Chains A and B, each alone.
Chain A
Amino acid sequence: MIDQILMVLIDGINYSAWLFLAAVGLTLIYGVMKIVNVAHGSFYALGAYMAASVVGVWVTLDYPPYLYYLALFVAALISGFTVGPFVERVLLRYQYEKDEVVILLITYALFLVMEDVIKLIWGVNPYFIVEPYAYLGNFSVGDMTYPNYYILMFGLAIAVGLTLTFVLKKTHFGRLLVSVIYDREISAAMGIDVGKIFVVTFSVGCALAGIAGAFTAPTISVSPGLGVEVIVLSFAVVVTGGLGSLPGVALAAIIMGLVRSFCIHYIPQFELFVIFGVMALVLSFRPRGLFSLAEARKI
Chain B
Amino acid sequence: MKFKKALVAGLVSGLALTSAHAQNEEPINLGVVTFLSGPAASPFGVPARNAAELLIQEFNAGTAPAPYNQKGFGGSPIKMTIIDEAGSSTSVVTEFRNLVQRDKVDLIVGYISSGNCLAIAPVAEELKAVTFLFDCGTPRIFEESPKNYVFRAVNHATADSVGAARYLKAQKPNVKNFGGINQNYAWGQDSWKDFSGAMQVLYPNSAVTTSQMPKLFAGQYSGEISALMASRSEVVHTSFWGGDLEAFILQSAPRGLYKNSDVVLVAGETAMYRLANRIPDGTIIGARGPYGVLAKESALNTWFREKFTDRFNVPPNYTAYQMAHSMMAAKLGYEKAMAANGGKKPNSDQIAAAVRGMEYEGPGGVHKFALSNGHQAVSETAYGRTKLVNGEMTIVDVMRFPAEQVMPPDGLKSSDWIAGGMKSN
Contacts and interface: CB of A to CB of B under 8 A. Distances in A.
Interface stretch (B39-47, B139-147, B196-204): B39-47
Interface residues of B, number: 38
Interface in A252-270: 260-261, 264-265, 268-269
A145 interface: yes
A15 B212 CA distance: 16
Contact of B222 (A11, A138, A221): A11
Interface in A177-207: none
Interface stretch (B160-168, B249-257, B359-367): B249-257
A268 B212 contact: yes
Interface stretch (A118-126, A164-172, A240-248, A282-290): A118-126
A70 interface: no
Contact of B243 (A15, A126, A144): A126
Q: Tell which of A146, A223, A226, A229 has the most Cβ of chain B within 10 Å.
A: A223
Contacts, number: 120
Interface in B209-259: 210-215, 217-220, 222-224, 226-227, 229-230, 242-243, 246-247, 250-251, 254-256
B226 A144 contact: yes
A268 to B, nearest CB: 5
A133 B215 contact: no
Given A134-B254, A265-B223, A268-B212, A144 B37 contact: no
Given A124-B46, A220-B246, A225-B217, A145 B255 contact: yes
Q: Tell which of A116, A264, A272 has the most Cβ of chain B within 10 Å.
A: A264
Given A115-B37, A119-B37, A221-B243, A130 B278 contact: yes
Contacts of A261: 223
A144 B229 contact: yes
A271 B213 contact: yes
Contacts of A130: 250, 278
Contacts of A134: 254
A269 B180 CA distance: 13
Contacts of B220: 15, 18, 216, 219-220
Interface string B26-40: 000000000011110
A150 interface: yes
B243 A128 contact: no
Contacts of B278: 130
Contact-residue size bin, chain A (C-beta under 8 Å from the other chain) = 35 or more
Interface in B88-139: none
Contacts of A10: 226
A257 to B, nearest CB: 9
B206 interface: no
B176 interface: no
Given A124-B41, A144-B226, A261-B223, A220 B243 contact: yes
A219 B243 contact: no
Contacts of B219: 216, 220, 226, 229
A221 B246 contact: yes
A220 B244 CA distance: 8
Nearest to B314: A125
Contacts of B274: 126, 128, 221
Interface string A1-43: 0000001001110110010000000000000000000000000
B184 interface: yes
A219 B247 contact: yes
A116 B37 contact: yes
B222 A150 contact: yes
Contact of B215 (A128, A144, A223, A272): A272
Contacts of B39: 223-226
A147 interface: yes
Contacts of B12: none
A147 B212 contact: no
A228 interface: yes
Contacts of B226: 7, 10-11, 144, 146, 264-265
Given A145-B255, A146-B255, A223 B243 contact: yes
B243 A226 contact: yes
B186 to A, nearest CB: 13
Contacts of B223: 11-12, 15, 260-261, 264-265
Given A126-B274, A225-B243, A261-B223, A144 B230 contact: yes
Q: Which 5 A-B pairs have the closest CB atoms?
A: A221-B246, A225-B39, A220-B247, A11-B223, A264-B223
Given A11-B226, A264-B214, 12 more contacts: A11-B223, A18-B220, A128-B246, A128-B274, A146-B226, A147-B255, A150-B222, A224-B37, A225-B243, A226-B243, A261-B223, A269-B213
9 contacts: A15-B223, A138-B254, A145-B256, A219-B250, A220-B220, A221-B243, A223-B242, A265-B227, A268-B211
Interface of A: 7, 10-12, 14-15, 18, 115-116, 119, 124-126, 128, 130, 133-134, 138, 144-147, 150, 216, 219-221, 223-226, 228-229, 260-261, 264-265, 268-269, 271-272
